A and B are shown apart, each in its own frame.
Chain A
């Protein structure tokens, strides 16, 4: 596909369960970002990957959150032992490089923790 693809588009889970969110970036884009948007809030940076460099994990809110990017392409964001405050839209974006490039966003995954 031509754009950033995220799956699932919606996820409802019970408190305490683990969830995995997937992002397929635009082919050839070396940088990949995860953000989340809680209800009524702005876009909160979580993590970014650039090529083979160590990821910037400075935005991950707790050690229940982790992400990986396999083969420089697909990325998975994992949330362990989900809490109700994790409910948000999780957005993935990619860019050609990490420097002075516009980000292309996917449509997001709406996560609801009951």
Chain B
């Protein structure tokens, strides 16, 4: 049972344009969400997070939106740069379920074209 889903395995965007990466979850107990970026042969690195008490969090070029009723979050990158080309994972976590494990999605490979 895949509790966190990233339905787009890949995405190509022109440099300077907006990249929108999507993530859906099924467990309504999830209340903290994170986005990670992963380059080949490296571990994932943290990008941005959001708590369920918010619906938006911004950090520089990165903004995460959370729609709790739709169980959906998205990551916006504006403007996109070639160095943003990587695999992006969303992750979810519950502080009330009795276990604090982070569940990751399957990832979206972003390619930013120069």
- Chain A residues close to B by CB (< 8 Å): 4, 31, 33, 35, 41-45, 48, 50, 56, 58-59, 91, 93, 98-100, 102-108
Contact = CB atoms under 8 A, between A and B. Distances in A.
A41 B106 contact: yes
Given A45-B101, A45-B104, A107-B43, 15 more contacts: A41-B106, A42-B6, A42-B104, A43-B89, A43-B104, A44-B104, A45-B102, A59-B101, A93-B43, A99-B100, A103-B44, A103-B91, A104-B46, A105-B43, A107-B41
A33 B43 contact: no
A108 B36 CA distance: 15
A107 B40 CA distance: 10
Contacts, number: 60
Contact of A42 (B49, B95, B105): B105
A102 B46 CA distance: 7
A108 B91 CA distance: 18
A105 B41 contact: no
Interface string B88-114: 010101010001111111110000000
B32 interface: yes
Contact of B44 (A41, A44, A59, A91): A91
Nearest to B51: A100
B27 interface: no
